[in-house]
Amino acid sequence: MSGSANDAAPATPVGRFADGLLAHDLPALPADRRSDTVRFIERRVAVLPSVTRFGVRLIGLVVDLAAKVIGRDRVRAVVLKLPLPLLSEYPRLVRSLGYAFVWETWPDTQFDGAVA
């Protein structure tokens, strides 16, 4: 699926983090597939139970603000390496939703995101 809607930057802090994380983890994933995956993650976060959704969005906002100050790559590296409670669960949530969507939607996807 390609088009102008897929080319737009993610609208939420969680979406922006997901986009960067997927680009890092699956560098060969085509942009339209990454965009579809990010939108899926944003939709799933939007329907989490209220307390969980609030926590995920709050962590996403803090990570997004830090990314604007010190850069997305640096923040992603810190979030992935620091074993802080809750913060370390954030990339796991994003990855699990993203990976499940990618390999359920396009089962022929290679380990780096490339189309088989």
Structural domain spans, the chain: 11-105
Across 72-106, b (16+ Cβ under 10 Å) vs e yields beebbeebbeeeeeeeeebbebbbebbeebbeeeb
Q: Quote the tokens at residue 64.
A: 């997004």
pLDDT at 8: 75
pLDDT at 86: 87
Q: Supply angle C-alpha 42, 100, 91, rounded to 5.
A: 60
Q: What pLDDT is stored for residue 9 in this prediction?
A: 81
> How is residue 8 annotated by DSSP?
S
Please give the chain's pLDDT, 116 residues, in tens.
Answer: 444 455 678 889 999 999 999 999 999 999 999 999 999 999 999 999 999 999 999 999 999 999 999 999 999 999 999 888 889 999 999 999 999 999 999 999 999 999 98
* pTM of the model as a whole: 0.89
